[in-house]
């Protein structure tokens, strides 16, 4: 289950990749713009400011996230649904999906299908985290693999659910698209007050730790959480009441082939 409040704890840091992604989509007057995995919807609402004459829709599989999005006074239609089942209509000129496809096994097949099914000249803009070998995730795997919860947790931890930028560039170019792909490491300087949990632990609770929290009972979760907090404090030491948390992200913007001038 996704918790919008927990996810929004680091809203500024989590929003920036979305803005950096959409900044690379030069569509002028798209008919319909779809945000797949729109989460709490505030970023989707920003798409309505960028393209005020377009139909903007957001889709997310979490009813909690969509309920939160629906409270926004934005000219956007939000729907609960799974992106695996989504198919582009003939007027979808822009698809954005940011920090979502790492949760979607087999998303390469989806990407090539969307590239085939989208209208010619449409834009497909994707961002995924590229931090699965970072100290945060190594610590997560270590703690998960070293306790009584091992058998339950290890199958939940994905080793490499995403490609690098070159890998996606190749995939989408093979699917007939023009591709712009890149990677960025954001250095988040997270406040670390002495009386609060380690900020990387708090960050992970909004995302990567959700599947683990869902399968552990309360006492076991408390022990797991404390052990992980200790490992994270070693990996990301607090200095001057803050923690430096480098976070790699992978981006690509692909344009489906031919008749490109139609959607300029």
Residues that bind ligand SAM (CB under 6 A): 2, 14, 18, 37-39, 43, 60-62, 65, 82-84, 98-100, 103-104, 207
Question: Considering beta carbons, is residue 54 or 62 the nearer one to ligand SAM?
Answer: 62
SS3 7: helix
Q: Is 21 buried (19+), middle (13-18) or exposed (0-12) by CB count in 10 A?
A: buried
Give min distance, CB of 84 to ligand SAM, in A: 6
Strand partners, 55: 32
Question: Taking the CB of residue 161, how many other CB atoms lie within 10 A of it?
Answer: 15
Give min distance, CB of 6 to ligand SAM, in A: 11
Question: Considering beta carbons, is residue 18 or 168 the nearer one to ligand SAM?
Answer: 18
Query: Do 185 and 124 touch, CB atoms closer than 8 A?
Result: no
CA distance 136 to 132: 8
Question: Considering beta carbons, is residue 104 or 121 the nearer one to ligand SAM?
Answer: 104
Q: Which residues are CB-neighbours of 134 under 8 A, at least 6 positions away?
A: 246, 247, 248
What is the total residue count of the chain?
264
Question: Considering beta carbons, is residue 34 or 100 the nearer one to ligand SAM?
Answer: 100
Give min distance, CB of 42 to ligand SAM, in A: 8
- What is the CA 85 to chain-centroid distance, rounded? 18
Query: Do 229 and 236 touch, CB atoms closer than 8 A?
Result: no
CA distance 1 to 227: 23
Q: At what angle do helices 11-22 and 42-50 cross, to 10 degrees?
A: 30
Give min distance, CB of 11 to ligand SAM, in A: 8
Question: Considering beta carbons, is residue 9 or 257 the nearer one to ligand SAM?
Answer: 9
Give min distance, CB of 205 to ligand SAM, in A: 12
Give min distance, CB of 86 to ligand SAM, in A: 8
CA distance 82 to 104: 10
How many alpha carbons fall within 13 Å on the CB side of residue 188?
Answer: 19
Question: Considering beta carbons, is residue 64 or 164 the nearer one to ligand SAM?
Answer: 64
Give min distance, CB of 80 to ligand SAM, in A: 9
- Name the residue with the smallest CB distance to ligand SAM: 39
Question: Considering beta carbons, is residue 61 or 256 the nearer one to ligand SAM?
Answer: 61
């Amino acid at each position: 289950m996704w918790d919008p409040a927990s996810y929004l704890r680091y809203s500024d840091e989590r929003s920036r990749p979305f803005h950096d992604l959409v900044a690379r989509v030069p569509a002028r007057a798209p008919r319909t713009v779809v945000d797949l995995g729109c989460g709490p919807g505030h970023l989707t609402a920003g798409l309505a400011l960028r393209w005020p004459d377009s139909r903007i829709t957001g889709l997310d599989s979490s009813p909690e996230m969509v309920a939160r999005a629906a409270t926004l006074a934005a000219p956007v239609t939000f729907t609960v649904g799974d992106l695996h089942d989504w198919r582009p209509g003939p007027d979808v000129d822009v698809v954005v999906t940011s920090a979502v496809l790492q949760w979607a096994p087999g998303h390469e097949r989806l990407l090539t299908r969307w590239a085939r099914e989208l209208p010619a000249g449409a834009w497909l803009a994707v961002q995924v985290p590229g931090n699965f070998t970072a100290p945060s995730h190594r610590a997560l795997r270590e703690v998960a693999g070293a306790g009584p919860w091992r058998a339950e947790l290890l199958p939940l931890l994905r080793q490499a659910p995403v490609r690098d930028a070159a890998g996606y560039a190749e995939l989408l170019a093979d699917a007939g698209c023009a591709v712009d792909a890149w990677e960025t490491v954001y250095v988040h300087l997270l406040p670390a007050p002495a009386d609060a949990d380690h900020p990387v632990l708090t960050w992970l609770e909004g995302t990567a730790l959700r599947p683990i929290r869902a399968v552990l009972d309360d006492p076991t979760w408390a022990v797991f959480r404390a052990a992980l907090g200790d490992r994270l404090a070693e990996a990301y030491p607090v200095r001057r009441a803050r923690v430096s948390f480098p976070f790699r992200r992978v981006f690509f913007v692909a344009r489906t082939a031919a008749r490109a001038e139609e959607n300029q």
